[in-house]
Amino acid sequence: MSFKLLEIQDKEKIFDKFKNNKFSLCVYSPLTILVWRAKFYFPVYKFENETLYIGAYLTKENAKNHLIIPITDDFNKITPKNLNSFIKGTEFPYFKYVSEEYLDIFGYDEIEKYFTIEEAEGDSDYIYLKENLSELKGRKYSKKRNLVNQFLKTYENRFSFEEINNESQKHVLEFIEEWCRKKNCDKDPDSDIACEKRAVKNAVENHNFLGYKTLVIRIDNEIKGCALSSQITHDTGGLHFQKAEFEIKGLYQFFDMECAKRLFSENIKFINKESDMNEEGLRKVKKSYYPEKILKSFNLYPK
């Protein structure tokens, strides 16, 4: 069976396979897999022996076509030997977004028998304790708390929260468009930030069908921030596409804290806030929230 184009409408075909997912990188969230697509990038999938294989084609750069680690309840099906055998029967040159959790399970020595291992720094994800983000306790978060308090003092009784709904969807999309205009997202249509814009629009436009949790903040009845969340593993949630009006002092810090409080169930202990895309400014912001761990991502090239 050959690979098929993965459409958003294929949600029901793949969601059940992720119920016991053990890999905490954000790419192993079905939400991320379904909504990320662009003119020159599109995801594909196939089922084989009760295992879900997911890959991506980059039509401008075939050398970057890739698979991710297959989704299965039986780890014997994804041993390094089996992965090597499988990928050699495809046109994909390598596995991308290989979580260091996979390397911990099978070990470097075993994996290196079948693959060349390459760390992909820009693909590493920042993992935080939910408790830290939702409470901002302790001396190290004092600057964040000060900004939150400044926001609350200035905008007391002027803000409100809601989920994305059919009425607000249009206004959320307008907010994203304006946010991206200020960030010049469309300067390079092939850039990560331009692709992210398309992904968040896909997610908002299909919010009812996809069924993930959302949060919107309004100030004086105007949308000034939005975020989406998903469950990645049994104890790790993903905070995706979090945007806030950066010209309002303290808004991001306040909204981030409220996202941690409101978007995740009690069983979620960790929050994955995705990678820094190799952007120094974004890296600095993510590190300022003191991640519990920076989860490394690797590429595996078959020998």
Give the closest residue to 195 by CA, choosing from 56, 92, 62.
Answer: 56
List of the chain residues with pLDDT < 70: 1
pLDDT of residue 28: 97
pLDDT of residue 1: 57
Cβ(287)–Cβ(125) under 8 Å?
Answer: no
Residue-wise pLDDT for 259-299, tens only, equals 999 999 999 999 999 999 888 989 999 999 999 999 999 99
Residue reference for tokens 């010209």: 247
Q: Following DSSP, what letter does each residue of 247-301 receive, concatenated? A: TSTTHHHHHHHHHHHHSS-TT--EEE----TT-HHHHHHHHTT--SEEE-EEEEE
pTM of the predicted model as reported, rounded to 2 decimal places: 0.94
pLDDT of residue 221: 96
What residues does 42 pair with on adjacent strands? 57
pLDDT of residue 222: 97
Sheet with 4-5: strands ordered across: 4-5, 41-48, 51-58, 66-67, 95-99, 297-302, 115-119
